[in-house]
Structure 1
């Protein structure tokens, strides 16, 4: 009988990156989700969310996995797989940070609409990586939605001096796609705000 060694103990990562996003890491396995929330056929303003994850020492993390959830440009989640396939908007993406030379994440989507009169457009983000004991939850708001951001109850609950850690910065346009920059800092003076969900 063959005796197998015990699997190494882990915190939340780093095995998730390779197991949850195998195609992005060039493994010959099918990924359940990709870094594409909205295909080019989806309605709305097409954007790319681009950034990196930094650990407490300011080092770029190359083996984190991020999950993104959002509504479409009309403020709705897809009601079914069929609706998501027909509209080109699935509402969810998963991406690893070690898939390019800069260890960036790049998510292709459309700018989300408002979910209510007082809710600002935002994207919910789940972070999984080595060194943390459970998932970390944050949000991405947009710097060009200042009026809507002022009425968002979740953003308003964050101390004013920390809100900037939740705001993506509008950058250049490339091929009709607006790029928003958003880095996630796990610890330190510029630590991103994380929520207890």
Structure 2
């Protein structure tokens, strides 16, 4: 006979809390020896194919203040538009490229930095090609559920104009929140959690 548990109250939802780095990036908080290096720290292997780029940015709150305790993950295709995933059926992805990275925002500046390659175009579900892009996942204290967004490239304007996901964004003035700016070192992509420049987030 099952016990009636209707008297129990639902627990409060939890944010990532100040301990997310301990579990996901132990050496970042001084816990050495758990992994040879934090998982996701290095995306590029020897002989990686494609244009190597640096992506730098900050996660900014509604007051314009960069978060210094956020964690950012990215997932992307390789230079040929193939994913390093068991579900990839179109071909063999570059074995020297992980396709996935994880970084903490810097405790002083709030900057995150990824050394990666510029991805190739990948097909949408109906076969139309998507513009080159990188998927982002952001978590930090005060965020109950990780936030999903995308980075598109400023110098891929023609492909961006034809991208089927960008075309679905109703308020066209917000598309710019997904466009990374070209810099001397690579690309700059700031993620705004709130405010007039709030980044477009996706419900996945």
TM-score, scaled to structure 1: 0.84
Map residues 19-168 of structure 1 onto 2, 5 A cutoff: 19-28=23-32, 29-30=34-35, 31=37, 33-39=39-45, 41-79=47-85, 87-98=95-106, 101-116=108-123, 117-158=128-169, 159-168=171-180
Unaligned runs of 5+ in 1: 1-8, 174-178
Q: Whose Rg is larger?
A: 2
Q: Distance in 1 between matches of 2:182 and 2:152?
A: 11
**Corresponding position of 2:22:** 18
Q: 1:32, CA displacement in angstroms? A: 5.2
Report SS of the residue matched to 1:87. Answer: coil
Q: Distance in 2 between matches of 1:48 and 1:24?
A: 20
Contact 1:21 1:34 in 2 (8 A): no
Contact 2:27 2:38 in 1 (8 A): no
| Count of residue pairs the alignment pairs up | 180
Contact 2:151 2:179 in 1 (8 A): yes
Which stretch shows the higher mean deviation, 33-42 or 156-165?
A: 33-42
Q: Distance in 1 between matches of 2:30 and 2:114?
A: 18
Q: Distance in 1 between matches of 2:17 and 2:76?
A: 24
Residue-by-residue CA offset, 1:131-184 (whole Å, 9 max, x unaligned): 1111110000000000110111111112210011100111004xxxxx100011
Aligned CA-pair RMSD: 2.0
**Corresponding position of 1:5:** none
Unaligned runs of 5+ in 2: 1-12, 87-91
Contact 1:60 1:103 in 2 (8 A): yes
Q: 1:58, CA displacement in angstroms? A: 1.4
Contact 1:39 1:109 in 2 (8 A): no
Q: 1:79, CA displacement in angstroms? A: 4.4
Q: Give the 4+ runs in structure 1 shifted more than 2 A.
A: 23-27, 34-41
TM-score, scaled to structure 2: 0.81
